[in-house]
């Protein structure tokens, strides 16, 4: 058992923290809005007064934050994680922030403090059930040391050296946005050609996007998209995909086109809805064109 600090108690971080408590680990928590820690404290966690205090108390510090700017804010400064972390503490960056942010964090580590990047694939239901897919980047001995703790959160996969976890997450996310764009445009085409929706879904079930069509059909038909992953956060993720590709001199016209749909949906006022609401935006936009 280890003492684990969780920094960031949003929808994902709070559920991951509960999993760690249930697994028997000592838990220290910090969140910008302290009230979010109350349920965890009632279950036995210790609330820290700052990220630095949380890091001082812990063997392992998990950050689960919204974006690179939030990570930088929490990590740096006199009350930041890096001010409190000392050897042999390990930081585990589990947010989706991209390889560049992981490299910046690595450059600022105090002597003797280790770092893994381990972003997750899955949403709140997977975080609650402990079935996240976790892409871990870092040296093999360090990864193996912390595999038992990460295993309480889901299925960790060591994908390479530091930064590889962040890269793997962007690769995975690039497919999510591309599939949504293809599915939405296919439905828009069916509408434009006069094909009834029920027939369109029957046709799509026989294609490579069949499983996604079946999964998304109830939401598309009802117009209700249960919030699992906010479209505003999806916008951040697709921006990271396109930016990382540009930095690596890789041309991704499909990803760039999928990003345009996400941006348009956010600008249409759907930023606080689930990211799959982009499907409704695509079909509504096509009908009004």
**Long-range CB contacts (within 8 A, 24+) of 76-82:** 76/108, 78/52, 79/50, 79/51, 79/52, 80/51, 80/52, 81/7, 81/51, 81/52, 81/54, 81/55, 82/55, 82/108, 82/109, 82/110, 82/113
Sketch out the chain's domains with CATH numbers.
3-160 (3.40.50.720), 167-287 (1.10.1040.10)
Beta bridge partners of 115: 91
- Using an 8 Å Cβ cutoff, are 68 and 74 in contact? no
pLDDT digits (tens, 9 = 90+) for 141-184: 999 999 999 999 999 999 999 999 999 999 999 999 999 999 99
Above 60 in pLDDT, residue 283? Answer: yes
CA distance 266 to 175: 19
Question: Distance between CA atoms of 225 and 63, rounded to whole angstroms?
Answer: 28
Place of tokens 């059909």: 217
The structure tokens 């972003």 sit at 119
The C-alpha atoms of residue 275 and residue 225 are separated, in whole angstroms, by 8
Q: Quick one: pLDDT band at residue 1, thresholds 50, 70, 90? A: confident
**Which residues are marked as active site?**
169
Report which of 53, 47, 80 is spatially closest to residue 65, judged by C-alpha positions: 80
User: For the segment 52-95, what is each residue's pLDDT rounded down to a tens digit?
Assistant: 999 999 999 999 999 999 999 999 999 999 999 999 999 999 99
Q: How far, in Å, CA of 242 to CA of 175, rounded?
A: 12
pLDDT digits (tens, 9 = 90+) for 23-55: 999 999 999 998 999 999 999 999 999 999 999
Q: Of the candidates 89, 30, 32, 83, which has an alpha carbon nearest to the alpha carbon of residue 58?
A: 89
Q: Which two tokens stand for residue 16?
A: 């991951």
Distances (CA, A) of 137 to 34, 46, 82, 113: 30, 28, 19, 16
Give the chain's largest Cα–Cα span.
Answer: 65
List, for residues 219-278, the tens digit of each pLDDT value: 999 999 999 899 999 999 999 999 999 999 999 999 999 999 999 999 999 999 999 999
By the 10 Å C-beta count (0-12 exposed, 13-18 middle, 19+ buried), 107 is classed as exposed
Smallest CA-to-CA distance from 273 within 285, 262, 259, 287 is with 262
In this prediction, residue 286 carries a pLDDT of 73
CA proximity to 100, closest of 71, 135, 59? 71
Task: Judge whether 63 and 32 are in contact, CB under 8 Å.
Answer: no
Instruction: State both tokens at 212.
Output: 């996604």
Q: How far is CA 66 from CA 126, 206, 220, in A?
A: 18, 37, 27
* pTM above threshold 0.85: yes
């Amino acid at each position: 058992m280890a003492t684990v600090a969780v920094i960031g108690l949003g929808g994902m971080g709070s559920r991951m923290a509960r999993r760690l408590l249930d697994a028997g680990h000592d838990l220290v928590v910090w969140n910008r809005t302290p009230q979010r820690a109350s349920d965890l404290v009632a279950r036995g966690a210790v609330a820290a007064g700052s990220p630095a205090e949380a890091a001082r108390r812990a063997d392992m510090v998990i950050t689960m934050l919204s974006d690179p700017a939030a990570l930088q804010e929490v990590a740096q400064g006199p009350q930041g994680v890096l001010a409190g972390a000392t050897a042999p503490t390990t930081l585990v960056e589990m947010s989706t922030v991209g390889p560049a942010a992981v490299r910046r964090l690595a450059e600022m580590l105090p002597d003797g403090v280790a770092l893994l990047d381990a972003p997750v694939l899955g949403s709140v239901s997977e975080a609650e059930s402990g079935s996240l897919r976790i892409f871990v980047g870092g040296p093999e001995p360090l990864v193996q040391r912390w595999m038992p703790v990460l295993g309480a959160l889901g299925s960790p996969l060591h994908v390479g050296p530091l930064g590889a976890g962040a890269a793997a997450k962007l690769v995975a996310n690039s497919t999510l946005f591309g599939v949504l764009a293809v599915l939405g445009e296919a439905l828009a085409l069916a509408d434009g050609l006069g094909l009834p929706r029920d027939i369109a879904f029957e046709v799509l079930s026989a294609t490579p996007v069949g499983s996604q069509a079946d999964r998304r059909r109830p939401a598309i038909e009802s117009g209700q998209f249960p919030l699992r992953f906010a479209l505003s956060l999806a916008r951040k993720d697709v921006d990271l995909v396109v930016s990382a590709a540009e930095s690596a001199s890789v041309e991704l016209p499909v990803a760039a086109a999928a990003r345009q749909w996400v941006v348009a949906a956010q600008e249409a006022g759907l930023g606080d809805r689930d990211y799959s609401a982009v499907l409704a935006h695509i079909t509504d936009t096509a009908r009004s064109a």
